[in-house]
Structure 1
Amino acid sequence: MAHITILGLGPGDFSLLTLRAHTLLQETSELWLRTRHHPVVEALPSHIRLASFDDLYEQASDFATLYETIAYRVLDLGRRPEGVVYAVPGHPWVGELTVRLITQRAAEEHIPVHIEHGLSFIEPTLAALQVDALDNIQLCDATTFAARYAPPFEPDRPALIAQVYNRLVASEVKVLLLDVYPADHPVTLVDAAGTAHETVVTMPLYQLDHREDWALLSSLYVPPLSKPASMTALMDVVAHLRAPDGCPWDREQDHQTLRPYLLEEAYEVLEALDNDDAHALREELGDLLLQVALHAQIAAEYGEFTMADVLAGLIEKLIYRHPHVFGDRTVNSSQEVLQNWEALKQQEKAARGEASATADPFEGVPVALPALAKAQKIVKRLRALGYNVPSPDEAWRAWQSTPDAATLGTLLLALAAHARDQHIDAETALRETLAHWMQKARQS
């Protein structure tokens, strides 16, 4: 009857095959290999007729198409009365997309699938590194890793990157890692782990793609940074501060008591930006992030939401509002980006049932914004409604005629509107001018 047996060939040494695998190999007369490029293949029993899918590697346009094709071929073979034995390197459930596709589709057709386990590359690689797998290690594939825009793991936990098989892949991995790790961060390349040809080489990260010899069975170990440096670590510290054995002050805080600190930290970030001080900016961004983490922790304790909810909502929003990056929409300017952004915001509100003919035209303008910053946002809404604020000249004449609070407010609004037309942030301009005069007074 139809059936599929999937055999793991282990990391590359014939002696590392399981006893069950040896028994299966003695009993089978035909073996289909995902690829012949595996050290164990040469040592397989001579009575087995070997076939492989290596010819498909040259025909496929990409790996996704390749693995889909192999999966369909294996399913066709599995439908035969004698079924099929399909062999893959390592363990069938470690880095083998074809196995996932085969098992999913076989289940739909009610074709039995048996997995014959094999030692993966992970165990001998960890042994070569003398690293415990349960020490928070993170795993990823080099090709998937290199296709990302930021490393997909936490830098304060160890990571193992599989299939760093040539200089191009190594170079792409290195460039991405350098966004997070220092250039001299030590990394270790392990080749042919668990075989007689096993090699272990440690080097600074910047030298990763300098070597000439590469192998198909290479993995890169990236040790953690020396200090905690992830969102997970931050939330653990904040949760500890809020715990019964934590800090009395932190435990007393709630959303409302933290309000002034949020504003204070935001202004200190702005001050660092005004001073073009990267060192201060790093510190102040941390202080601002602490406020976000505290609010998220408090919300989690109250059953309102979690930091994961915050991050998931932000990521979803960014992807949804950038269809020209993550979708098929085309834009020709940043102005079109802004227009699309506003249109998508309105669609989101309509989907939530928040849009109506009587909606507040100033909804979304934060009440606590500084007056000049708020004025520039209000002006945009006023103009959209058909209102025009006075020009600076008109407002100045009114002030000279009647110098009171009302005409002064009109003058400030007119100046803020004029600054907006000139693409000047009025709040920043005044803040920088005040800093200039303060410095001048200090030096006199």
Structure 2
Amino acid sequence: MITIVGLGPGDAGLITRQAWHLLSAADTVYLRTARHPAVAELPSHLQLHSFDAIYDSAEQFEEVYSQIAAEVLRLAAAGDLIYAVPGNPFVGESTVAAVVSGAAEAGIATRVIAGLSFIEPTLAALGVDALDGMQLYDAIEIAGLLYPPVNPDAPLLLGQVYSRALANDLKLALLSIYPAEHPAVLVHAAGGAGEVVERLALYEIDRSDRVDHLTSLYVPPLPLKSDLSALAETVAVLRGPGGCPWDQEQTPLSMRGGFLEEAYEALAALDADDSLNLREELGDLLYHIVMQAQMAAEAGDFTLSDVIAGIETKLKRRHPHVWGDWQVSNSADVLRNWEILKQQEKADRPAEPFESKLHGVPQALPALVRSQKIQAKAAATGFDWPDIGGVYDKLAEEVGELRQAAGPDELRLELGDVLFVVANLAQWLGVEAEIALREANERFTARFQLIERLMAGRGLEWAALSFAEMDALWEEAKATLARSGVPDKVVDESADS
């Protein structure tokens, strides 16, 4: 029999009566660690054996816990023993889960005497209610993540903030979600005589000289709803009874235009290098994604969770060099592997009667983007010019045919051929044609707006200018923008006011 006892979070006054009676009647107790306030106050007749030496010999916590669990099981094979741990045996005690599991496999009985955990006195020190959506995590686990799975709309309690080094790692992880100035509370020795509640900004938590093995961290919710689940709830309310008539009337197809418009507005914010506007436009785009998922859930097709699980799984599956044992030396290797993995996924699907090599290029893409993607897929089969010289020759040929075209239909047809070859040329040059054209639009707009300002300052009118004078103004605008050292961008019209 292995009896596992919780010693509570602080001094012996926090040990339960049941645990104290058991310890008083025992002869020998094995302690996970003697570094606990209650140990010095245990019954004096007890023979105490700790596993602290393992902490000094092991390189990682995982090794410490597995070695302690293995030693407890080895000792239990020879007879009954009592294994005592800080707090509650099933709150932040990795060794307990390992001992219980190992004992079950070995046919050894176990008994657990629950104890007060660090949670209850910490809540009392903070004056908060755990049932108000409190999230509970091990600080060691969270500190090892780049984007922790915490909900910033709910309070967060982290146990085992045992050192300033860990507090630093924890701070860096949490700053991916919370602002640096967000309030935080370090609670030291909760429930004990030396209890200290330290309130400070999140970025300061690793500067406290009080941090030790009895420290916990509390982070209150953000002032504004910020979690994806909050947005999903808002959209569901808009679609539900008593919601918004416009949102209720929408269908997946009716939202297509708005979806594309928001995507273009996000691209415009990227082109303008406007981070504030980009944040807003990404929010609008996210609304459309959540709205589509909500309508699909109402139809019984899939849920937002399915969408997230699908892309999360796909990303890991298609990055075996990160979540697997594949080796890559550069991004070209990554793209090559990506195509191999896509083909493997297709091979696992039920066979279709016919699937074109051009399958998968959405018709809703902008024409220039779609043209380049179509030609990339065609080139992957070998259907392309042997070298870029053939593309230039074809472009000259198509321009010649455009010059000779007569009538609107033939002009449209020949101009389309020219644009198609331009997209092919972009593919050969390794340039995204859509981005190149967007940038050209911005350059032209910036120069033209500067010409307008020059004309206004000089009292000039368009009707009075010759082509040569307009061209001179154009060259002047180009030179002025070049001297400014600022890339050509659309001038903000609000600057006039």
Q: TM-score, normalised by structure 2?
A: 0.85
**Alpha-carbon separation, structure 2, partners of 1:421 and 1:154:** 46
**Count of matched residue positions in the alignment of Structure 1 and Structure 2:** 440
Return the offset for 1:442: 5.3
Return the offset for 1:371: 1.1
Percent identical among aligned pairs is 47
**Alpha-carbon separation, structure 2, partners of 1:61 and 1:348:** 40
Which of 45, 55, 65 is matched with 2:53 structurally?
55
**Alpha-carbon separation, structure 2, partners of 1:316 and 1:365:** 22
Aligned residues: CA RMSD:
1.7
**Alpha-carbon separation, structure 1, partners of 2:39 and 2:153:** 39
Residue identity opposite 1:209 in structure 2: D
**Alpha-carbon separation, structure 2, partners of 1:85 and 1:186:** 42
Confirm or deny that 1:398 pairs with 2:398. yes
What is the correspondence of 1:14-163 to structure 2 with a 5 Å cutoff?
14-81=12-79, 83-163=80-160
Return the offset for 1:304: 1.1
Residue identity opposite 2:6 in structure 1: G
Match of 2:343 in 1: 346
**Alpha-carbon separation, structure 1, partners of 2:144 and 2:343:** 33
Match of 1:170 in 2: 167
- CA deviation map 1:349-393 (0-9, x unaligned): 21223488x532012211111111111111211112221255134
2:188–2:210 Cα contact (<8 Å) kept? no
Residue identity opposite 1:206 in structure 2: Y
**Alpha-carbon separation, structure 1, partners of 2:398 and 2:185:** 73
Confirm or deny that 1:413 pairs with 2:423. no
- Segments of 5+ residues of structure 1 without an aligned counterpart are none
Residue identity opposite 1:412 in structure 2: L
1:262–1:288 Cα contact (<8 Å) kept? yes
**Alpha-carbon separation, structure 1, partners of 2:326 and 2:47:** 52
**Alpha-carbon separation, structure 2, partners of 1:393 and 1:412:** 14
Which of 171, 176, 179 is matched with 1:179 structurally?
176
Compared with structure 1, are the counterparts of its residues 343 and 396 closer, same or farther at alpha carbon in structure 2 (3 Å cutoff)?
same
Confirm or deny that 1:364 pairs with 2:360. yes
1:6–1:114 Cα contact (<8 Å) kept? yes
- CA deviation map 1:308-348 (0-9, x unaligned): 11111111111111111111211001000001111111111
For CA contacts below 8 A with separation 6 or more, give which structure has more relative contact order. 1
**Alpha-carbon separation, structure 1, partners of 2:352 and 2:193:** 68
Match of 2:429 in 1: 422
Confirm or deny that 1:269 pairs with 2:276. no
1:174–1:205 Cα contact (<8 Å) kept? yes
Residue identity opposite 2:165 in structure 1: L
**Which one has a bigger Cα radius of gyration?**
2
Which of 178, 201, 211 is matched with 1:204 structurally?
201
Return the offset for 1:181: 1.8
Q: 5-14 or 67-76: which moved more?
A: 67-76
SS in 2 for 1:326: coil
Residue identity opposite 1:422 in structure 2: L
1:349–1:355 Cα contact (<8 Å) kept? no
Residue identity opposite 2:382 in structure 1: G
1:143–1:163 Cα contact (<8 Å) kept? yes
2:30–2:49 Cα contact (<8 Å) kept? yes
Match of 1:7 in 2: 5
Return the offset for 1:60: 1.8
**Alpha-carbon separation, structure 1, partners of 2:25 and 2:351:** 67
Which of 421, 436, 439 is matched with 1:432 structurally?
439
Return the offset for 1:228: 0.2
**Alpha-carbon separation, structure 2, partners of 1:42 and 1:354:** 71
2:146–2:176 Cα contact (<8 Å) kept? no
Residue identity opposite 1:421 in structure 2: W
Return the offset for 1:257: 1.4
**Alpha-carbon separation, structure 2, partners of 1:253 and 1:104:** 53
Residue identity opposite 2:193 in structure 1: A
Return the offset for 1:413: 1.8
SS in 1 for 2:338: helix
Residue identity opposite 1:143 in structure 2: I
What is the correspondence of 1:216-255 to structure 2 with a 5 Å cutoff?
216-255=213-252
Match of 2:487 in 1: none
Return the offset for 1:137: 1.3
SS in 1 for 2:321: helix
**Alpha-carbon separation, structure 2, partners of 1:92 and 1:354:** 53
Return the offset for 1:146: 1.2
1:392–1:411 Cα contact (<8 Å) kept? no
Return the offset for 1:438: 4.3
SS in 1 for 2:137: strand
What is the correspondence of 1:374-389 to structure 2 with a 5 Å cutoff?
374-388=370-384
Match of 2:480 in 1: none
Q: TM-score, normalised by structure 1?
A: 0.95
Confirm or deny that 1:318 pairs with 2:325. no
1:34–1:52 Cα contact (<8 Å) kept? yes
Return the offset for 1:439: 5.0
Return the offset for 1:245: 1.5
- CA deviation map 1:154-204 (0-9, x unaligned): 112111111112121111111222222222211111100010010011111
Residue identity opposite 2:375 in structure 1: V
Residue identity opposite 1:89 in structure 2: P
Match of 2:330 in 1: 333
1:189–1:220 Cα contact (<8 Å) kept? yes
